[in-house]
Structure formats: structure tokens, C-alpha cells
Structure 1
Amino acid sequence: MAPAEQGATRYARVVVDSRLPQLDRVFEYRVPPAMEGVAPGVRVRVPLRGDRLADGWVLDVADERAWEGEVADVERVVSPVPVLQPEVWALARAVADRAAGGASDVLRLAIPGRQARVEKAWLARGAAEPAPLPALADDAEAVLPGLVEARRRVALECAGGVAPVAAAEGEAWVGRWAVALAALARQALERGEQAILVVPDHREQRQLRLALEAAVGADRVVELDARQPNPDRYRGFLRCVGQEPVAVIGPRSAVYAPAARLGLLVVWEDGDPLLAEPLAPWVHARDAALVRQAQSGCALVLAGHARSTDAERLVELGFLEHELLGRHRVRVLPTAMTDDGRRIPTQAFAALRDALAERPVLVQVGRPGHAPGLRCGGCGARGRCQACGGPLGRRTRQAPPSCRLCGRIAAAWRCPTCRATALVEVGRGSSRIAEELGRALPGVPVVVADGEHERLSLDARPRIVVATRGAEPIAEGGYGAVVLLDGDALLAREGLRVAEEAVRQWATARALAAEGAPVVLAGVAGPIAAALTGTTTVPFARAELAERRALRFPPAVRAATVTGLPDAVAEALEALAAIPHVDVLGPVPVVPGPGAAPTASAAHSERAIVRFGYAEGAELAGAARGRVLAAASRPRKPGAQVRLRIRLDDPEPFDGL
């Protein structure tokens, strides 16, 4: 080939969208001379082997080739929009390497599917001039001044309370935490930078959206949520691709939103399990935020009503600064166990009755439905579904028993042990407690808020609101009283983070109370109750972290699970155990979960737990990725069991502690 012709040839480096670990690398393709639009970030179709085509994203284009072997041609350009921004690729690669996973798995979370009509309209519109920021209200206070400018890293504990904000439909009430975070986002936008705010679910997202619209204007707020229609989500994503200073809000995947000039990154309630990604490589939003802050140098805030042990570890290391925001004066009243362990304490009932003269009251319960559990009336064994083995329950008083997992009605249930057919109710769900309160306080409206009866907000009229944890609506002006039931049942569960999660859920409900209102914690005493009665939950988080350090449990150390066929597990453990400061627990045979039918593959699987320090994380992740690649390269019959799976920072083994 003549030198002039070589200079006219271009080569594209492409990352392929594939779940196969052996394809987690950068491929090089030749750009045909007649093909236009091949540029960094665009989507392309490329050949892999034979006639097989795959989607991919272009990382960069060069005039010289790096691969000496045969190079195939790019098949076609799918879209001219640079959806893969450089900062997102750097984040995806770093996050995947930390978790011993594939970068394309992360990019699949970060980049939504293409919508051709939305894309065409975006290209035709071009860059828009950002709308001016609205004027702040006279009573708006500066929150953590200098945080964005100084690029501070803060663990922010919000005291609680609710506040009104101006909304399109009129005045709306949100948590004070949302107003504070919106003020921080405004600081970033005033500097011409972007802000990303990550929340656990749509309830917090709604509050934050209302607060942001009041602080920076609706035109400056972008939502990225899988609950949105695909065109709306892609439209919001394209707004982030540009340089426009916007505030991006959404659940855990929003941490990967494009933001070339990122000034602020916030993770609200970083201890919430909903922020843990259920898809490979299973990276928690908090961990991705820490990686992104290190790359961009932006201000970082891990905020919540209660301090997580993960955030406390970073504070003790000096990586985060401790900040307590605001004061929320409520009277927290822990109570001893009641007579039968179920009824509402006399103190709580009196607080409800007194508060109902002026305001609504909140009763937080543990389970939805009428009877969360059923047991055999003959032998007392737990009632289980005859189809899937799941627990039986009753949604309403008149409803027939049904499985809480598969929903199948247990019409002809018979106990497999004693052959009895009668079922006895165990526990009380939200609808049953609502019925009992309605009979005890006749004439008072009773509202149920749970997974089946969603309510996001309500006015200040007196009423009783019975809500499951996490489903509590926002009341105008706050609740006149809050009663936290089923605390003993919540703490009776097995799991490493049971106490931490209980404190977080109770602190969230406490934050909804009006100033000076009573908060009754039923059936709980000791250090856990003290964590809720104090002005801060930091002492509780510090004590929890110290106990886990002594036991070498997360987050004091990191942990990985190694699961697969015995020979593959043994080879992986031999490689990982050679790393200093690593200890191995197991391996043990894999036991199917409750109600799961045993399979041939599970009967031959083993699992081990590998514990290691944060300093050894990079070395262990590299070794783990190497073993996964080696196991994947061996021939496997279609449908056969995966030989080896390694998951870093896996919380599942510690749920039963």
C-alpha cells in the first residue's frame, strides 16, 4: 500500500457491548474510506467472528493501527451522537476493574437504548441557551458555603423536618434534606457546572425534584430513571451529553450520567439497600461515586438521616468531613415490651389521641396486608405454598390465603406434616392494624400507605396514616405524632446490617414529625433506642464499625464470594489466597434458598468467602478477573452451569449472621 493511501486510512478503537468476559477489551477496526460519522463516542455495528455482528461504542479514531493482525471493517454507524463521553468511559473502566467485572456491563447501565425520533429532534434543535437561575426565596439560607468551590468531601447527617417549596401546582411539602441538597446543587450550577444527585427510589426523587425546581428552575432539572418512558429517559440523557449546567437526579444508575464539568456529586441515604446494583458487576452507587469523585475532583456528599457504617469508616480515615445539618427537636420515647408483644403501648396510643386534635399521625408497621404469616392450626408449622415453597399470608380479612412470593391462592392447602387443613394467622399487617385503630378511635379517618396503596403526600387534616417502612407519605407541616411499631420483630431478623438498617428506617420516619412532636419507639430499648433518642446517630455507627473491625466483617474489610464447580473454585482460591492479608472461609456446598427446588447444578456447586483489605483490592480484583477469564475460555455445553463466578463486595453471605 502506498504511503498516501496509508495516511487516508483511519482505524477505530471500539468497546463491544457483550456480556462475555473474554470480550472485555478494546478492539480495533478499519474505517472504510466512504464511511462518515465515525467519531469518539458514537454507536457502531462491528463484526466479531464470521457473520456475527455486535453493537459497540467508539473510543477514539487514529490514522495508525496498533494491531498487527488482520483488521475487519466497521459495518455501519448506528448514530452520530457521541453517547459515550470520555468521563463515562473512564468511570466504567475503573469501576469494572475495581469489581473484577466487564466495562460493557457498566456502560449498559449508563447509556439508555437509542430512540431515533428523540435523537433526530435533539440534533435539529442544537445547543440551547440555559435559562437564568430563579431568584432565591427571602428565607433561603446558604447550606455548607464553599463546599463546591473547595471541592470538599462531606458525610452529611440531616436532622430532619419538612418544609414548603413553590411548585407548579402550588405549594408542596418536602423534607428539609431535599431543600438543603437543592441549595448545594444551585451552588454548582452558579459556577457553570453540573450536579448529580442519586437517591434510592422515586419517593425521594419526587421530593428532590420539587426542591430543585424551586431552587434552579424546572428547565435545569434532568431526571434519569428506568421508570420513565424510554423516549423521556433518552431525551434527558441527551441533555446531559452537552455542556449545559443542569442538575441530574435519579436512582443508582444516575451516578454514571454524562457530566464533563461535574461540580457536585451527592448520594442520599447511602446505606439504603436499593442503591446496591443487582446486575453484574454489582457495584454499589456509593462505591461508583467515590471512584468518580477521585477522577473528577468534584465536591462529594454522602448524606442521610442516619450515618451508615461505610460513611463512618471514611470519616474516621479522614477522607470525609463530618457535618450535622440543622436541628429537629422531637421527643423520642422508647417503650418496653408490651403485654403480648403486639398491641400498641398505652403511651403510644395516648400520643396518637392527643395529636389527632390538630394534625395527622403516622403509625409505621413492618408488613403490608392483613396477616403477614400463617401457620398450621394443628402442628404449628409455618404455612408454605405447595407450588414454590414461599410463605403464605392473607392480604385482607376476607381474602383467601395466598403465597407472598408467587401469588398463587392456597385454596386446598393441607399441612405436609400433620395433614391438617386449618391455618392460623400470625402477626399483623398494615390493613389489620388500620382496622384495629379504626375501631379504637371511631370517627377518625384511617389511611393505609404500603406497596399496594401508594400515597406520596397528604394535607394537614387529622387522620391516622398506617404505613409500611419506606412508604410513609409527606404530611403538610409534619405529623403530630409518630409511632414506630414492630421494632422487636425487625431486630429479630438475622443479618449483619439489621440494627443499622433499623436505625436508618426509624430515623427516616422520625424526620417526618412536626417540630416538638412525640415519636414513640415501641418494644425497643438499649443502645439501639439510644441511637434514635440522641441528636446524632454517629456514636451508634462508630460502635457498629468497631465491632465489625474486631470480627473482620464489612465494611471494615472487603469480601468476595467465589462460586462454581469444585475444581474451578479450588483453582481460584489458590490464586487469591496467595495475596497478602487475604483469608478464606470455606468452601462449602451451595444450599438452595428457602422454597427453591434443588437442581443438579446446585448440588455440585461450592462457595467460599474471601476477605481482604482495601489496600489489596486492586490486586485481588485483577487475580479474580484472570480466573474468571480462564474458566470462561474452557469449552462448555449450551445450558451448562457456569464454571466460576466471583462477586466482590457481595452482601448476601452476611445477611444470615
Structure 2
Amino acid sequence: MTRRIARVVIDSPLPQLDRLFDYALPEEMGAVTPGVRVKVPLRTAGRVVDAYVAEIDVENDAERALSEVESVVSPIEVMPDRLYRLARRVADRAAGSASDVLRLAIPKRQVRVEKAWQPQTDSTAPSDSAVTQARALLAEYTGLDEVLVGHERAAVEAIPTLRGAVPNWAALLAAAATVTLAAGESSVLVVPDHRDEDQLLTALGALLPDDAVVRMDARQSNPDRYRAFLRTLEPRPVVVVGNRSAVYAPVVAGLVAVWDDGDPLLAEPLAPYVHARDAALVRQEQEGSALLFVGHTRTSDVQRLVLGGWTRAITATRRVLPRVQLSTPQELEQGGQRVPSSAFGSARTAITEGPVLVQVARPGFAPSLVCATCRAPARCAHCGGPLAAHRRGALPVCGWCGRGAHSWRCPHCEGDHVRLAASGTERTADELGRAFPGVRVIVSDGTHQVLSVGSAPALVIATRGAEPLAEGGYRAVILLDGARMLQAPELRIGESCLRWWSDAAALAAPGAPVHLVGVDGPVARALATWTQPAYARSELEARAPLQMPPTVRVAQVEGAPASVRAALDALRAEGMATDAVLGPLPVAGEDDRVRALVRFAYAAGGTVASALRAAVIADATRARRARGRARSTLSVHLDILEPEI
């Protein structure tokens, strides 16, 4: 006797459930297709859980004891086979669960949206004029059309200018998506945040009709996100624009593009912690689409791919570069001013013609205070948090507990006065506003978000990444606090600063001066000469002897001491060298947990990920038997951006 069975993926965070389970399909259930949502009983938990059907099969052993599928939640195939295979491969690479990846890719079901959905089959092709315009823009980049036609991988150095009302990079991605749509294929365009999404959608709106573009991001309401997801399931091609989770959009993609892959917003904070760049690489390898990494700078991760021959380097046919001027730290020391005379003079001249951008490191008035006597950082007497001033003459307030620092005294010298140690957006606006009387001052940061400004004279004070677009571009750009930015104790701080400054410089009008204040060294020279790929190459060369990412992969293993030791023993049993493991050391603030770092070559990725995943499952099984708790105390995070013990 034969019977139908369904192999399902159970939607559960438990690592021991990360495999396909067989369930019998009752005859009265009728036709069931792969990819649909179902309810199945989980005997170990004594309850019914959600699942997705991965396969339908027929078996001859009808006597085998199998539980039956409880019900079909919806007949819509929300998990196509290509999406399941992508989730499985991404999870295996990151030592994670496929269900965790599917949770990022598939929104929660919205019954009303689902009932109102009418799938369409008639595709919307771009107009001939739009395709001609797109091809003309792509021709500005040597070999880019070959990459799109041949479905290759490429690192594209975007032209650092504005094209009309949008940045050039947005026009470039829109043109690539238009040409891909004209060929009858879908595109997935991944950007870090909603500001980038808005700019890209504006560029797409100039080339494509509205029904050819769909937006997918976490800021949408649940119904809107599910409606957009259902649109990606239709057979007609579409252009998907979204943040990091959009990389899993279940379209048959002819193009996947990632803008500014160095932005930390593209790093997934949820398990299995897969960066959008890595997910895009796995997807391109699986589906054979074109893959573009676009940016004003190049990360060391992408540079590694270029040097290894995995990715082509694409530059503009005719390079148009910002006019960057450097002022050394010695100039600031001699004048005792925050803005050197050369930058101040450029701003005074440019402000008569249009807006001037001033980039600062932090928001607020005075983000940090120090003792006026000994210069020690001013700390809250209650919790030890940093004290800050929100406006001139205001009582210092703790940044952690919010308490006012009444009768504050320095624990080092008994001093009772504080002084400003840093200038935020508001203090900078206050200082420069007095230097430019009668000029409108605009502040843009995390608290005061401004998306665009006009062409009228204005002084725009913005934190990194919050710079508004200016009509016609900024007439001058001044980059302050560069030395303070470079002092951050991060492995990639040089790359990050170069990216922040390059993105701001790209907002300048043609020929407008860009002043980098108080910085010298390799990062400043890379910005001044606009040789960001060379800086990325030097970063790789410096990290190689130290075996630091991305020259090698690094896994972070954290948990109870016994669990971490067991995981490390499993790796050594697979031939992992002793010097490849750093730690384990106690986790700060948690006496019962330790952390270790494991460095390994890319070729050993499959072996290491498999061994660590097995260790997580074994630890969860032991925890359940010993304490009746199914969750593992062991956590594994591969490809961490900032290694720390």
C-alpha cells in the first residue's frame, strides 16, 4: 500500500528541529502543493505548530508510524522551492536554522490581503525611451552592460555626483533594473535604510510604471508588507526595492544589487546573523543572476573578491571626482579653531550661492563633558554613565539613567565644574550660526531628520549618514571631527570614515570644494585622490599577517564554559589548529558565560559551520534532558564584523 507524505519545515527556533519532518497526508485533505503553510502536531511539545511544505512524496511503507498534517492554512505557495533552497544554503553557511532565515523572508499571513489578492500574469515592460535612457547611463561605466547580459559579479564604483534630483548611484541601479526588466527578468535592489529607498524609488519612478516596482522593508505595516510579498510570487517580472531582508525576495532574479555594503544596517542582528552581502553572494551562486556591489568606496570584503578574481571591478568611462582639500591637525593647533581659515573662507564664499554642508560626528549640543580641572570624563555619581549637556548653560544630565548632575564633584580631583569636550550638531549650529548672521541654519540628525533642502543659501549641520540632498548639490562641504571619528576602537573604523566622507563629498555640486578638517594619513590621502579601492587593498594586506577578517572568516562562540569547551573540542577533532582559537575568556558582566573566537580559512567554512551547528544541537539536547529546557545556552555567530573577546 502507498500513501502521500509531506516533508515539512517546522517554524521553530529550536536547533534540534532544523530538518525536514515526514507527515502523512490524509486522503480527505485533497491536493496539497509544496510551499504552502500547514499546521502539524509536534508530539515532543504536545501541541500544534506552524510549518511549510517543502516536498510532496509517495512512500510504499504505509505501516510506518507517522503523524498526520493537521490542516492546510492557505493554498498560496509562500515558500517556493528556490526560496527554501536559498534559506537552507544560507543557514548551512552560517551554522544556523533554515526556519530563522524563512522568518526573515516570509511575512506573517494577513488573511484580508490574501483574499483580496488577484495574481496577474501580464507583465509590464518599460517604454522604449526608458530603455534607451537606461542604456545610455549604463554606457558611462566600462563593461557594465556585459556584466548584466552575462550574469556576472561586479564591484561598481559609482560616480560621486547628483543626477537631477537623485544621486548618481540611484540612477545607476534604476537603469540596471530597467534593462533587466526589459529582458523579462526581475531585479532585487538592496539598500541600507529608508532614505536610500526613497531616493532609489524616485529614480525608478522616472523610468518605470508604478506596478513594475514593489517596496519591501520593515517600516511597512504588516498588510502592506504582505501585499508586497504576494506581488513577488507572481510570474510577471518586478523590481524589488528594500532593506537587508529584501535579499530573500522570492522572485526569479536576473539581477541582485547591493548599495553601500559597508553600512552596518545591512548586517542582520537576528540569528543566523547573515550579512546581506553574503546572502546575495549565495543567491547569485545558486540562481546565476547578475550581482552588483555599488558604492562610492569599496569594502575590504568586496576588494577580497576582486583580488581573487571572483568579481569584476567596474569604473566610470570618464571619472568625475570631487575637489577635496585637506587641512592637517597642525593647522588646527596653530589657529586654535575648530574650522580652519581655508574651510571658513570657502564656506563664506559658497554661502552666497547656495547651501553649505557641515558634517559632524555626533548629535546634540555637547555629547560629552569632562572635568574642567583635570579633564577626566564626567560621570554620573548614581550609575557611572556619561554626562552630557543638551543646551548652553543647562544642567548636565546622565546619558544612561537620565538623572541631573546636581552638586557634581570629580572623583579624581574634587573639582566641581565641567567643560564641553565635544560639539554635537546643535552646538555646531549655535557656533556657526553666530559666524554667519542672517543665514538659515538647518540641523539634520537622528532626532531632526531632514531629507532634502532647496538651492537657497543655508548652513546644513548633519551627522554622518543623515545629510539631506541639496537641489543642485552643496556649494561647499566641510567635514569636521574627522580625527575623533578615527579614534573609535573598531577594526574597520578607517573604512567607515572613508565611506562617510566619500558619501558626503558625493553630495557636492560640480567643482565645489570639499574640506576634510584635521586629518592626515592613508585615509585622508585616499579621499583626496579618490583611490578608495587602493585603501581597501592596503587594509587587506595589513590584516593578512594578523589573520583578521575578511582575510579569514571568524566565528564567535559564546555560552556556558562547558558548552564552549565542547564546541571547541569538536572543532579540534575536525583538525582545527590550536592557534586558530582565541580564548575562551569571561564575558564582561556575565560570570557564567565565556566567549571564544575561531579563525578559519574560507575553504574550511563548510566543515567549521557543520561542526559548530552540531555542537549547538548537542548542547540544546543536553539542556533539555538535564533541565527540561529545550533552548541551547550555546550561541554561534559566523563572519562577525568586529571581533572582540
Into which bin does the TM-score normalised by the smaller protein fall?
over 0.9
Post-superposition Cα deviations, 1:289-315, rounded to whole Å, max 9, x if no partner, equal: 000000000001011000110010000
Aligned length: 629
The answer for the alignment partner of 1:130 in structure 2 is 123
The answer for the alignment partner of 2:146 in structure 1 is 146
Residue 189 (structure 1) aligned with residue 194 (structure 2): no
Describe how 1:425-464 pairs up with structure 2 within 5 A: 425-464=420-459
The alpha-carbon distance between structure 1 residues 405 and 15, as it changes in their structure 2 partners (threshold 3 A), is farther
Query: Contact 2:160/2:322 (CA < 8 Å) preserved in 1?
Result: no
Q: Counterpart amino acid of 1:127?
A: Q
Describe how 1:375-394 pairs up with structure 2 within 5 A: 375-377=370-372, 380-385=375-380, 389-394=384-389
The answer for the alignment partner of 1:309 in structure 2 is 300
The answer for the alignment partner of 1:590 in structure 2 is 586
Query: Contact 2:620/2:631 (CA < 8 Å) preserved in 1?
Result: no
Query: Contact 1:367/1:468 (CA < 8 Å) preserved in 2?
Result: yes
Normalising by structure 2, report the TM-score: 0.93
Describe how 1:57-456 pairs up with structure 2 within 5 A: 57-64=52-59, 69-122=64-117, 125-136=118-129, 141-143=136-138, 144-164=144-164, 173-259=165-251, 261-325=252-316, 327-337=319-329, 338-339=332-333, 343-377=338-372, 380-385=375-380, 389-397=384-392, 399-405=394-400, 408-412=402-406, 414-415=408-409, 417=411, 422-456=417-451
Query: Contact 1:444/1:463 (CA < 8 Å) preserved in 2?
Result: yes
| Secondary structure at 2:472 match in 1 | coil
Post-superposition Cα deviations, 1:95-126, rounded to whole Å, max 9, x if no partner, equal: 1000101110100000011111111111xx23
Query: Contact 1:42/1:83 (CA < 8 Å) preserved in 2?
Result: yes
Describe how 1:484-633 pairs up with structure 2 within 5 A: 484-580=479-575, 582=577, 583-592=579-588, 598=589, 602-633=590-621
Query: Contact 1:37/1:80 (CA < 8 Å) preserved in 2?
Result: no
Q: Counterpart amino acid of 1:56?
A: A
The answer for the alignment partner of 1:31 in structure 2 is 25
* Greater Cα shift, 363-372 or 209-218: 209-218
Distance in structure 1 (CA, Å) of the matches to 2:308 and 2:627: 48
Cα offset for 1:316? 0.5
Give the gaps of 5 or more residues in structure 2. Answer: 139-143
Query: Contact 1:584/1:608 (CA < 8 Å) preserved in 2?
Result: no
Cα offset for 1:434? 0.5
Cα offset for 1:133? 1.4
Q: Counterpart amino acid of 1:202?
A: H
| Secondary structure at 1:512 match in 2 | coil
Cα offset for 1:216? 1.9
| Secondary structure at 2:123 match in 1 | coil
The alpha-carbon distance between structure 1 residues 640 and 549, as it changes in their structure 2 partners (threshold 3 A), is same
| Secondary structure at 2:246 match in 1 | helix
Distance in structure 2 (CA, Å) of the matches to 1:293 and 1:68: 43
Query: Contact 1:577/1:584 (CA < 8 Å) preserved in 2?
Result: no
Residue 45 (structure 1) aligned with residue 39 (structure 2): yes
Distance in structure 2 (CA, Å) of the matches to 1:142 and 1:429: 39
Query: Contact 2:620/2:630 (CA < 8 Å) preserved in 1?
Result: no
Cα offset for 1:402? 3.3
| Secondary structure at 1:633 match in 2 | helix
Cα offset for 1:641? 9.3
Query: Contact 1:270/1:308 (CA < 8 Å) preserved in 2?
Result: yes
Cα offset for 1:652? 3.5
Q: Counterpart amino acid of 2:586?
A: V
Give the gaps of 5 or more residues in structure 1. Answer: 165-172, 593-597
| Secondary structure at 1:243 match in 2 | coil
Cα offset for 1:413? 6.7
Cα offset for 1:272? 1.2
The alpha-carbon distance between structure 1 residues 514 and 638, as it changes in their structure 2 partners (threshold 3 A), is farther
Q: Counterpart amino acid of 2:127?
A: P
The alpha-carbon distance between structure 1 residues 463 and 402, as it changes in their structure 2 partners (threshold 3 A), is same
Post-superposition Cα deviations, 1:484-507, rounded to whole Å, max 9, x if no partner, equal: 000000111111101011101111
Q: Counterpart amino acid of 2:636?
A: I
Post-superposition Cα deviations, 1:341-386, rounded to whole Å, max 9, x if no partner, equal: 7611111111111111112110000000000112345654423446
Query: Contact 2:121/2:234 (CA < 8 Å) preserved in 1?
Result: no
Post-superposition Cα deviations, 1:170-209, rounded to whole Å, max 9, x if no partner, equal: xxx1101110111111111011111001001111111111
* Greater Cα shift, 479-488 or 9-18: 9-18
Cα offset for 1:226? 0.5
The alpha-carbon distance between structure 1 residues 65 and 84, as it changes in their structure 2 partners (threshold 3 A), is farther
Post-superposition Cα deviations, 1:367-425, rounded to whole Å, max 9, x if no partner, equal: 0000011234565442344665442322333654334356x233547458367664432
Q: Counterpart amino acid of 1:28?
A: D
Residue 475 (structure 1) aligned with residue 467 (structure 2): no
Cα RMSD, aligned residues only: 2.2
Distance in structure 2 (CA, Å) of the matches to 1:24 and 1:318: 35
Cα offset for 1:581? 6.0
Distance in structure 2 (CA, Å) of the matches to 1:83 and 1:341: 63
Percent pairwise identity: 48
Distance in structure 2 (CA, Å) of the matches to 1:107 and 1:65: 31
The alpha-carbon distance between structure 1 residues 444 and 118, as it changes in their structure 2 partners (threshold 3 A), is same
